[in-house]
Structure 1
Amino acid sequence: MKSTLKKLLPFAVVGVLSGATTVGALKYFDHTANNGDQSYFTKSSNTSFVGMNSAAIGDDFVKSAKTTVPAVVTIKNYQSRTASSRASEQDLFDFFFGDPLGGRGQQRQKQQQVPDNMPSGMGSGVIISPDGYIISNNHVVAGANKLEVVLSNKKSYIATLVGTDPNTDISLLKIEEKGLPYLNFANSDNIEVGQWVLAVGNPLGLNSTVTAGIVSAKGRGIGILSSQGKAANPIESFIQTDAAINPGNSGGALVNTNGDLIGINSAIQSTTGYYQGYGFAVPSNLARKIIEDIKKFGMVQRGFLGVQSLDLSDEMQVSAYNKQNKTNIKSGSGVYITKFGDNSGAEDAGLKMGDIITKVDNYPITDFADLSVSIGSKRPGDKVQVTYLRNGKESTTTVTLKDQKGGTSTRTKADLSVTEKIGSDFEPLSDRFKTDYGLNSGVVAKNVTEGSEMAKIGIVDNYIVIEINGKPVNSQKDVEKILDRYQGNVQVKFVDEYGRIYTKGFKMP
C-alpha cells in the first residue's frame, strides 16, 4: 500500500496533521526535555525584526495573539483500539511524516499498550460562537467514540460531534457553555500573497502556541484528500503559509493581524513530519459555508457543474491525456471540458466538450483548484456565470448547479434515501460468484462513505453484505425495502476480504 501511495505523492509527503501522530512525537520530546535539553521549549524574550518596523509589526502580532489564543482549543480524540491497531497507525505516521524516532516509535507502539483513558490523538479547534460551536478538521475527530475539548484556561468539556465533511476536511463540534471567547470569520477571498498571518494551535502537545509568517500562495491543490481515498469529491484550494505548523496544529486558526479567522490549518508538506516551511489551511469562506450547511441542514449541500475536466495548468496531466486520446491539447491556463455527467447543468446551459472554462462569476479559473473551490462553495440551485473559450472566442453562460442526483433543491437528512443514510451503494453478486463461494445471497458494498454507519462497523468497498436484520439481500432494492422508514437497531451480516463472516450493528439514522 505504501508503494502505491508513494507513487501518488513521490516527494515530500503531504501529511494530514493527524492528532494520533502527536502522541508518539510528544513522548519523544518529553524524553528529550527530561534529559536536560530545554532549548526546544524556551524562547528568548528579545525578539527583533530585521528590515521592517519591528514595533508596529510586534504590536499587531501581540493584539492578534491576545484575541486568538483564548478562542483556540485542544481536542482529544478517544478511541477503543488495540495495541496492534496503534502500531498500524504508526506505519501511517511513518509514511506521512517520516519516522523522527528512527524506528523507535513503531517499536514502542508495538511493545506498549496505551491506557484506555489516554487519548488516541490530539488536535486543535477554533471557537466560532459564544454558545460553544467549534470548527476543526475531519481527520482530528475521525473514529472517535469520545471527544474532549480543553480551553486555553484548562477547563474541560465533552463535545458533541455535530457533523463532518471529508471532502473539505472540516468538522463541527458543540460544547454546552455560554459567553465563550470566539473568532470572527474574515473574507478569505481578500487575502493577499505576502500578507502577515499567525498560526495558533497546540502542536506536539504544546498548548496555545503562536507562530508568525506570511501567505505564501493561494489556491493550492496538493492532492492530500484525494490520495487518502476518503473524500468522494475533494475540494482543495488551500492557503499556503510559512508560519510554522506541526502535528497537533490541525484544526487550529490561521488569522490576520486583526485576529480574524482566514483559514483552518490542515496539512503540511514535509519529508520529516515536522515543519519545513510549507503549511496549508482551508480558506475561511469555504469552511464557513460547510459549517453553515451542517448547522442548517444536517449535511453539506454541494452544487456541481456536471463536467469531467482536464487541468490545463498541469503539463504532465495534459501530456498524458494527449498520449492516451491522441489529441494535441496545449497546456496553459484554465480547465478543459472532456466529458459531461448525467443531468449536467453545464451541458444544459450550452457548454460543449472542448470548451475551456476561464472564469466563474468573474473569478479567474487558472487551474482545477480554482474551479473546485468556486463551485464547491455553492449549493444546488445556485446560478453561476461561467466564462469559457470555444475556438478561441470568449463567451459567458448561466449554469444552474445540481446535486449528484440531478436535483436543484437543498435537502435535509430526512430527504435522504436509505443507502445515503447508511453510507453505501450496493451491487448484486452474480449467480456464478454465489455458487463458487457457497453463498445463497449477497450484495457488494460500493462507494462506502467515511464516517458513515456502514464504515463505523468496519465495512469498506467490495465487502459482501449477506443479510440485513436477518433477511437475505440480493440487490440495492432489497436493502432499501428492509430499511425504508425503519427505526431502531440494524444488524448487518457481511464477509470481509479474507472470507471471514461478521455480524455487527448500528442504530438507523
Structure 2
Amino acid sequence: MPAGPRPTGPRAARTRLPATVAVVLAAALALAGCSSGSSSSASPPSSPSAGSSSGTKQASSAPAQSGNQLQDAYQKVIADVLPSVVQITTGDSLGSGIVYDDKGDIVTNAHVVGTATTFTVTLANSTKALDASLVASYPDSDLAVIKLASPPSGLKPAAFGDSGKVELGQITLAMGSPLGLSSSVTQGIVSATGRTVSEPRGGTSPGATISNMVQTSAAINPGNSGGALVNLDSQVIGINTLAATEPEANGAAAPGIGFAIPASTITSIADQLIKQGKVTNSGRAALGITARTSFNQQFQPAGAVIVAVSPGGAAASAGLQPGDVITKIGDTQVDSLNALTTALASLTPGSKATVTYTRDGNSKTADVTLGTLETP
C-alpha cells in the first residue's frame, strides 16, 4: 500500500529519491464510484424512418461537444495560470514556484530553496534567466518566499482559491517543472482533503508534518515541488509538495497519490514572510513543551516524554511536568515524538484536548487548552 511520501523537488531526474516514510492520514480513505449516462437512454427506441438517422447523429454529437467544452476549460485554465508558474534553479537543483504578487515575490517549498539564498528564476513565457534572492523560509510548514531582483513588466500573480471550498472529485491541474521539463501540466482530481502528512527528513527536506493537505491524482514528480495545483476556476488551491512512494517497490513512485499544501496555509505564511520576514502566527497547535521519544523496557517506542515545559504554556497551565510520558492526545495514540507532532498538527490553537500521560508509573489525564506553535 502506498505509504511513503517524498518531496517532489528540487532535484531533476538524475537525483535519487529520499527514503520512504509513513503517511499519516487525518481523514478516512474512501472509495468513490462514478456513474454516467446519456439522455438517449431514457428515450424510447425510435422507429425506422428517414428522420431517425439525423436524430442519431444529433444524440451522438453531445458527448463530443461536452468533451470539447472540457478541453476548452482546461486550455483556458492553462492560459490563465501557467504564466504565473516559474522554474527555480539553485546550483544543479531545480523546483517550481508561483508568482505571488506584482512586486516579484514568489512562493515555493522550503525544501526547494534549502539553504540557498540566491536563485535563478525562469518565467513560463520567457527563456531569460532572472536573479532572485531569499525573503524568508518557514520549514515547519515547508514554505518559503523568494523575490526577483528586477521584476519584469507584466508579471502575472496567481489567484488563490478558498481552501474551504475544495471538494472530492473536483478536477485539478498540476503545473510546474517535473524532471526539469518546464511549464508541464498534468490533470487529475481531488482524491481527498484534510490529510496530515509527515515528510521525510534529510537533504533539503525539513521533515515537516503538515495538516489539511489536498490529495490529488494529478501526476507529481521531482521538480514539481513549489508548483501550482489549480482548479477549473483558474485558482491555485495548493502547492505541489509530496508524492507517495511504494515501500515494497524500493521506494518507487506510487502513481496518482500526490499531496499539496492548501491555499489558506500558503497565503497565511507567505503574507507573514513578506511583511515581517518571519512567521509570528503559525496557526499550528502546540503544548508548549520540549519532548523526545520514550522507550519501554523492550526498547520499543512507548510515548513522548516531556523534557521541559514552557512557563505559562498550555502544558504548564494543565499541570504537566518534565518526566511525564504522553501516550495519547484525545483518542489518538502517541508512541513517539513524531506521533505527538502529527497528532498536534491536526488540531488548532485554542481548542481543548485531553492528554493521557504516565507519571511515576500511574496513568493520568489532563484537559489542555492548546497554544500556538512558537517560531524562532
Given the two structures, how large is their TM-score scaled by the length of structure 2?
A: 0.65
Match of 2:80 in 1: 67
Match of 2:318 in 1: 350
Q: Does 1:16 align with 2:7?
A: yes
Aligned mates of 1:75, 1:229 — CA distance in 2: 14
Aligned mates of 2:355, 2:180 — CA distance in 1: 51
- 1:475-486 equivalences under 5 Å are none
Q: Does 1:160 align with 2:133?
A: yes
Listed as ranges, the gaps of 5+ residues in structure 2 are 17-61, 321-325, 333-338, 357-364
Which residue of the other structure, out of 113, 121, 133, is the alignment partner of 2:93? 121
Which residue of the other structure, out of 264, 268, 275, is the alignment partner of 1:289? 268
Higher relative contact order (CA 8 A, sep 6+): 2
Shift, 1:254, TM fit: 0.6
2:157 counterpart SS class = coil
Which residue of the other structure, out of 256, 259, 264, is the alignment partner of 1:280? 259
Match of 1:212 in 2: 187
Aligned mates of 2:262, 2:222 — CA distance in 1: 19
Q: Is the contact made by 1:337 and 1:356 (CA closer than 8 Å) also made in structure 2?
A: no
Q: Is the contact made by 1:220 and 1:369 (CA closer than 8 Å) also made in structure 2?
A: no
Shift, 1:138, TM fit: 1.9
Identity over aligned pairs, percent: 29
Which residue of the other structure, out of 215, 236, 256, is the alignment partner of 1:240? 215
2:206 counterpart SS class = coil
Q: Is the contact made by 2:7 and 2:241 (CA closer than 8 Å) also made in structure 1?
A: yes
Q: Is the contact made by 1:263 and 1:284 (CA closer than 8 Å) also made in structure 2?
A: yes
Match of 1:33 in 2: none
Match of 2:229 in 1: 254
Q: Deviations over 1:207-250 (max 9, x none)?
A: 22111111222333443244669637x23233221101122211
Q: How many residues are paired up?
A: 301
Match of 1:442 in 2: none
Listed as ranges, the gaps of 5+ residues in structure 1 are 1-9, 26-48, 79-119, 311-316, 328-335, 360-365, 376-382, 405-419, 421-509
Q: Deviations over 1:144-192 (max 9, x none)?
A: 4641111111143101111112222222111132541111222324322
Aligned mates of 1:275, 1:179 — CA distance in 2: 39
Shift, 1:369, TM fit: 4.2
Q: Is the contact made by 1:68 and 1:183 (CA closer than 8 Å) also made in structure 2?
A: yes
Match of 2:372 in 1: 401
Moved more, 191-200 or 264-273: 264-273
- Greater share of residues in helix: 1
Q: Deviations over 1:413-451 (max 9, x none)?
A: xxxxxxx7xxxxxxxxxxxxxxxxxxxxxxxxxxxxxxx
Shift, 1:134, TM fit: 0.5
Q: Does 1:149 align with 2:121?
A: yes
Match of 2:362 in 1: none
Amino acid at match of 2:112: V
Q: Residues 324 and 261 from structure 1, CA distance in 2 versus in 1: closer, same or farther, beyond 3 angstroms?
A: same
Q: Is the contact made by 2:178 and 2:222 (CA closer than 8 Å) also made in structure 1?
A: yes
- 1:59-458 equivalences under 5 Å are 59-78=72-91, 120-144=92-116, 146-154=118-126, 155-175=128-148, 176-177=150-151, 178-226=153-201, 231=206, 234-237=208-211, 238-270=213-245, 271=249, 276-301=255-280, 302=282, 304-306=286-288, 339=306, 341-343=308-310, 345-350=313-318, 356-357=329-330, 369=342, 371-372=344-345, 374-375=347-348, 384-388=350-354, 398-401=369-372, 403=374
- Greater share of residues in strand: 2
1:58 counterpart SS class = helix
Given the two structures, how large is their TM-score scaled by the length of structure 1?
A: 0.50
Two-structure CA RMSD over aligned residues (Å)? 4.2
